[in-house]
Amino acid sequence: MCSIFGMFGLQPDDDIPALRRQALELSQKQRHRGPDWSGVYDDAGAILVHERLAIVDPAGGSQPLRSAEGDLVLAVNGEIYNHRELKSELGEGYAFQTGSDCEVINALYRQSDPDGDGPAAFLERLNGIFAFALWDAARGRVLVARDPIGVVPLYWGHDRAGRLCVASEMKALAPICADVAQFPPGHYYDSATRALVRYYRQPWRDYAAVEGMEVSPRELREAFEAAVHRQLMSDVPYGVLLSGGLDSSLVAAVAARYARRRVEDDDRSEAWWPRLHSFAIGLEGSPDLAAAEIAAEAIGTVHHGFTYTFQEGLDALPEVIRHIETYDVTTIRASTPMYLLARRIKAMGVKMVLSGEGSDEVFGGYLYFHKAPDAREFHEELIRKLDALNNYDCLRANKSMMAWGVEPRVPFLDREFLDVAMRMDAAHKMVRKGDPGHQRMEKGILRHAFEGYLPESILWRQKEQFSDGVGYGWIDGLKAHAEAQVSDRELAAADRRFPVNPPQTKEAYYYRMLFEQCYPGAACAETVPGGKSIACSSPAAIAWDASFAAMADPSGRAVAGVHAQAVAAG
């Protein structure tokens, strides 16, 4: 994973050397994402800059990637997990110039119908996480696209001269684009039609398409095993994040089963780094550190549990907010320990990790899902949560880790796994109070599918948010610090200082001040939807239980009554 910067729509009277220098300077603001190499391309119509984090084909996969004829120029931030299958299907129709997994995008574009629905057709074939800009110099055409869920960040806007600019992070565009905005997941933009098009439309988004459908525990397990196996694609040392919760423990347990063989040659040879390393972080005595030790011992990973102090976390907050580009309370709370952990992982020489994000959105793991009245509403809320992931958990995982050049991958959001897990009727995901079987707790169907993989204490561990699990003193300390930094008068006037998404608490106000120092202006503020990711603040959740409307604290502990009831039921 890397960073990209692109500038398109250059005019004959533009000073290309000056614009090239500007593009390089702006791209440098993202170099933490790609510290291994920099590449740049320019012509009379476009400039592309790429900062590379070398994971696949480290010796030969430098970008921008160019076709043999030189007319296709591609800058990609991402990984294409099914690139070998796609290359095999393409046969000899394209002359590949590198071993990069991402070059298959150029090949698919070349094969597509340039005047038909070519982009949508070939983008549907990609299983991966990506954000890219492809410049077709012969046609003067740019194609910009982002992966279906938005695991990889992408922003776009226009400079003062009206040129289209795209970048992996907002910090590269904010200085020149007054209209900077997030590029939507599952979409592409084609300059030939000037249209922004949604290409990712799955039948399972509609509850009517999944009602009554079943997926066996075996099929679910095998689909997830295949997803983890695919995502072990790497030519550099990798590891797993292991909080000791269900999701990260399942990722680690499955990865451990494949870690000794090399995925790149269909498991025929021994892996270059056969011992799987796992990583956890928390305050001294945190629940996650204790649970991670148990999980790691059972799985057999080489485990590294790190502690941080409250002061270390507090000191990091300004840099965390600069990197993650949000003022959302939950995201900042969870991003800070993840940011500190990424630095430790980088120091150990690991460049890629697998993580457990996405499971709660696929299986209804948040505690307020206990209140869902029926399967239809449960399913529809899952869709809303998946659509919002790019603003919250995906943003946190990607930007917190990439701040130190560590690439996170998320098997629960693998395209093929999603198609299996989401075609299941949500009735099978709902909690049934008093059920002695697998539906007595959230994500019961998932837990049941992996019986025997993990110790019972981990497999049936109660849900906690990451920011809670690292130690309850972390959140309590943050609230106390914000109380001392923000006066009652300031909070009362929050809507005048911050007319876009005015903060509702002192903690939110404090984070907003830090955000504004890095990203002033309404456009930057508007890239954060609502400014709060309180799980139970969604309209559906409030309809399920009106008491959720009054909650201003996004901690899992604040979901009134549900946490205690869930623990008792388990």
**pLDDT number for residue 367:** 86
Q: Can you tell me the distance from the alpha carbon of 174 to that of 176, in angstroms, rounded to the nearest whole number? A: 6
Report which DSSP code applies to 443: T
Whether residue 568 is predicted with pLDDT greater than 60 in this model: the reply is no
For residue range 78-99, list pLDDT tens digits in order. 999 999 999 999 888 889 999 8
- Could you tell me the pLDDT band of residue 311, with boundaries at 50, 70 and 90? very high
Q: Closest Cα partner for 178 from 517, 521, 498, 501?
A: 521
Q: What is the mean pLDDT of residues 499-515?
A: 97
Least confident segment among 134-143, 222-231, 330-339, 457-466: 457-466
Buried b (16+ CB within 10 A) or exposed e, 134-172: bbbbeeebbbbbbbbbbbbbbbbbbbeeebbbbbbbbbb
Q: How confident is the model at residue 471 (pLDDT cuts 50, 70, 90)?
A: confident
- State mean pLDDT over 490-508: 97
Residue 431 scores a pLDDT above 80 = yes
Helix axis angle for 104-111 and 83-90, nearest 10°, is: 40
Check whether 114 has a pLDDT greater than 90.
no
Q: Which CATH number fits domain 205-569: 3.40.50.2300, 3.40.50.1220, 3.40.50.620, 3.40.50.2020?
A: 3.40.50.620
Compute the mean pLDDT over every residue in the chain, rounded to the nearest whole number.
Answer: 91
Tokens of 25: 């300077």
- pLDDT bucket at 436, cuts 50 / 70 / 90: low
pLDDT of 466 > 80? The answer is no
Confidence (pLDDT) at 556: 54
Q: How far is CA 441 from the centre of its chain?
A: 26
If pLDDT is split at 50, 70 and 90, which confidence band does 203 have?
A: very high
Which fold does the domain 3-201 belong to in CATH? Answer: Glutamine Phosphoribosylpyrophosphate, subunit 1, domain 1 (3.60.20)
Domains 3-201 and 205-569 share a fold: no
| Mean of pLDDT values over 165-187 | 98
The DSSP symbol for 194 reads T
Which pLDDT tens digit goes with each residue over 3-57? 999 999 999 999 999 999 999 999 999 999 999 999 999 999 999 999 999 888 8
Does the active-site annotation cover 2?
yes
Mean pLDDT (whole number) for 463-469 = 62
| Cα 133 from Cα 288, distance rounded (Å) | 39
C-alpha to C-alpha distance for 27 and 50, rounded to whole angstroms: 8
d(CA 433, CA 428): 13
Q: Which of 9-23, 161-175, 544-558 has the lowest mean pLDDT?
A: 544-558
Q: Where are the alpha helices (DSSP H) in 112-258?
A: 118-123, 207-210, 217-231, 246-258
**Residue ranges per domain, the chain?**
3-201, 205-569
Quick check: 548 pLDDT over 80?
Answer: no
Question: What does the pLDDT look like over 132-162, one tens digit per residue?
Answer: 999 999 999 999 999 999 999 999 999 999 9
What confidence score (pLDDT) does residue 560 get?
45
Which of 2, 102, 177, 524 is catalytic? The answer is 2
What integer is the mean pLDDT of 273-299? Answer: 93
- The tens digit of pLDDT for each residue in 388-404 reads 999 999 999 999 999 99
Residue linked to tokens 């903690």: 507
Q: How far is CA 142 from CA 145, 173, 193, 351, in A?
A: 10, 18, 10, 31
Contact assessment for residue 570 and residue 460, using Cβ atoms and an 8 Å cutoff: yes
CA distance 272 to 257: 15
